[in-house]
Structure 1
């Protein structure tokens, strides 16, 4: 499946997809030491994180930075909505950041398949390819 994206920080990547269809507060909801999204007890390290966007404190940028310095950051982030905290965190860490043009359709399509076996590949441009691993 190809999804249309608007690149904010465009850098090629390939990785396993992790969908958290929520807004994430990096400060408070993410354990920097263990790279865990605490509300769901899910590891986010080395994943292509698909989520609605970030919320909460401006400290979130530094949480993303801390994840990166410890080797526990996501490979890339694909979101529905941008905000300054998310953009600055990804700029600081050089994490690819893409906005899904049809996020709701993407989530609907992904919910009809097992996301645990999916990988996302971005080679540049306006599309991300999502396929089974």
Structure 2
């Protein structure tokens, strides 16, 4: 496999690795995600019924209430938060939530994560360095 390293913009510092969980739907942490379990409970959401716990959560941007930042913090306190987050472009609610919860977050990658990443890929998100590195491919991702 050819190494893939994508530069982006640092939003929340730190470094974490995990399996990619992709959503093309925006996420509202208030009402869409159970803060105790990390399971997406919004019925018509692309990730409905799936857990974000320990995943590298890829979604375009957040939506909804400013309370979503605190819900992200609750997820972290409950051990149900994603390991890291990648956004197309982060808005303030998700940015604040990631920072106070110490969840590494990068956005504005040099290539769209939807073109490069697939569910189950193993990646490292380096929020301090501002990049995402693909460490391994899922069985369904034969690109590169």
Specify if TM > 0.5. yes
TM-score between the two structures when normalised by the length of structure 1: 0.86
- 2:129 aligns with 125
Q: Write the distance in 1 (CA, Å) between the matches of 2:115 and 2:109.
A: 14
Give the total of aligned pairs.
128
Aligned pairs for 1:1-133 (under 5 A) are 1-38=4-41, 39=45, 40-102=48-110, 105-110=112-117, 114-116=118-120, 118-123=121-126, 124-130=128-134, 131-132=136-137
Question: What stretches of structure 1 of length at least 5 have no aligned partner?
Answer: none
Greater share of strand residues, 1 or 2?
1
Q: Write the distance in 1 (CA, Å) between the matches of 2:15 and 2:37.
A: 25
Greater share of helix residues, 1 or 2?
1
Given that 1:33 and 1:70 are in contact with CA atoms closer than 8 Å, whether structure 2 keeps it comes out as yes
Offset at residue 69 of structure 1 (A): 0.7
Q: Write the distance in 1 (CA, Å) between the matches of 2:122 and 2:40.
A: 20
Structure 1 segments (4+ residues) deviating >6 Å: none
